[in-house]
Chain A
Amino acid sequence: MQEQATSNVEVKPADPSKVRKLWTIAGVVGIITIAEIVLALVWSYPRDIVFIAAILALMIAKAFYIVSEFMHLKGEVKTLVWSILIPLLFVVWLVIALMFEGNATGEARGVLP
């Protein structure tokens, strides 16, 4: 029974260009990670807002590659893409907004210069 069911499943050969593309994207994600670590290790203290912006930008770039290529969101219907991305854009906005808000809170409490 099982043998009969499996025998009609045809194994298609792998497409080398597809596999190579997947490794390339992994390489890009790895290089961005290395760039992040190098930035974090060489950037002098105290850190300024340029450093924070650079790390956030690299982080978003990495997230873009993972979601669009590995999770293959770019191959989905536009409606699905937007129904996933729009709620997340609000979260990204909230993260950045509350970093500034936290700073303002610290200033109001007098613990920040």
Chain B
Amino acid sequence: MSDVSASIPVDKKNRWMGGNQPMNASYGKLMMWFFLLSDALTFGGLLVSYGMVRYAHPSYLGKLPEFTFSKEYWPVPEKVFEAMPFLEGHYPLIFVSIMSFILILSSVTMVLAVEAGHRHDRKGVVKWMLWTMIGGLAFLGCQAWEWSHFIHGIDGVGASLASNPYGPQTFAQFFFFITGFHGFHVFSGVVILFIIFYNAVVGTYDKRGHYEMVEKVGLYWHFVDLVWVFVFAFFYLL
């Protein structure tokens, strides 16, 4: 942004004369931060209501091996989420842990793309953004499997907004709403990543002279990872 401030005379004494950036961040980055803040409040609302309803229901008080699904108490997460694609048997929380690691890895590749952008390294940006998109799509694929397994249910009774074989009805509703809302964020993240990736490939940012758009989409992508940290802890661990 130095080319902008160079063309406008900056009045250091009077901050209201224009030419300087509030909080030393460019307009786009600042607005991305405030968008993410408002998005965090939306997710906060969902998680707040989940936390309240979860602890308004009784917890399972027996021993783990004797656990059975019941409407009387909140289900134990490691008994609900214990399936793996292509494999028989019980793998408590393993599949969802793999999903978490995919998202963490895609966050690293994103931050490497931003780092390459700082160096005007177009090849690096393109390479690391491609990996990030692959990570995002892999996560979405895993979530699609997770959902279809959850919807399939147990003993012929499927989970939906109106029925839940695993426990209290609100458990299924919160699962669909919160992981669905997060999954939709991942999906729109992949779409935005692709747009920026395309621009980087055709050289838009070389002409512009900076790769700030990569930084902005990076902020969004890390936010999606951040939300998963909370969703993971609330849904699968507590």
CA A77 to CA B57, docked complex, whole Å = 43
Closest to B49 in A: A98
Inter-subunit contact B33/A80 (CB<8 Å): yes
Inter-subunit contact B115/A18 (CB<8 Å): yes
Name which of A12, A87, A99 has the most chain B CB atoms within 10 A of its CB: A99
Is B104 engaged at the interface, CB distance under 8 Å to the other chain?
yes
Is B63 engaged at the interface, CB distance under 8 Å to the other chain?
yes
Q: Count the B residues whose beta carbon is within 8 Å of the partner chain — how many?
A: 67
Closest Cβ of chain A: how far from B226's Cβ, in Å? 5
Inter-subunit contact B237/A26 (CB<8 Å): no
Interface magnitude class on chain A: 35 or more
Inter-subunit contact B23/A98 (CB<8 Å): no
For residues 56 through 103 of chain A, which have their beta carbon under 8 Å from a beta carbon of chain B?
56, 58-59, 62-63, 66-67, 70-71, 76-77, 79-80, 83-84, 87-88, 91, 94-96, 98-103
Closest Cβ of chain B: how far from A98's Cβ, in Å? 4
Inter-subunit contact B53/A102 (CB<8 Å): yes
CB contacts between A and B, total, < 8 Å: 169
Inter-subunit contact B107/A40 (CB<8 Å): no
Closest Cβ of chain A: how far from B224's Cβ, in Å? 10
CA A84 to CA B64, docked complex, whole Å = 41
Inter-subunit contact B108/A99 (CB<8 Å): no
Closest Cβ of chain B: how far from A40's Cβ, in Å? 4
How would residues 169 to 197 of chain B score, 1 for a CB under 8 Å from any chain A CB and 0 otherwise?
00000000000000000000000000000
For residues 216 through 238 of chain B, which have their beta carbon under 8 Å from a beta carbon of chain A?
218-219, 222-223, 225-226, 229-230, 232-233, 236-238
Is B8 engaged at the interface, CB distance under 8 Å to the other chain?
no
Closest to A58 in B: B233
How would residues 33 to 50 of chain B score, 1 for a CB under 8 Å from any chain A CB and 0 otherwise?
100010011001001110
Is B62 engaged at the interface, CB distance under 8 Å to the other chain?
yes
Inter-subunit contact B59/A46 (CB<8 Å): yes
Asked if A11 meets B64 with Cβ closer than 8 Å, knowing A6-B203, A91-B41, A102-B51, the reply is no
Q: Could you name 12 residue pairs across A and B whose Cβ atoms are closer than 8 Å?
A: A2-B207, A5-B207, A10-B120, A11-B120, A13-B119, A29-B104, A36-B237, A37-B97, A76-B24, A88-B44, A101-B52, A113-B58
Interface residues of A (CB under 8 A from B): 2, 5-6, 9-14, 18-19, 22-23, 26, 29-30, 33-34, 36-37, 39-41, 44-47, 52, 55-56, 58-59, 62-63, 66-67, 70-71, 76-77, 79-80, 83-84, 87-88, 91, 94-96, 98-103, 105-106, 109, 111-113
Known pairs A22-B115, A30-B101, A84-B37; list 7 more (Cβ under 8 Å).
A26-B108, A33-B232, A37-B237, A56-B233, A87-B41, A98-B48, A112-B56
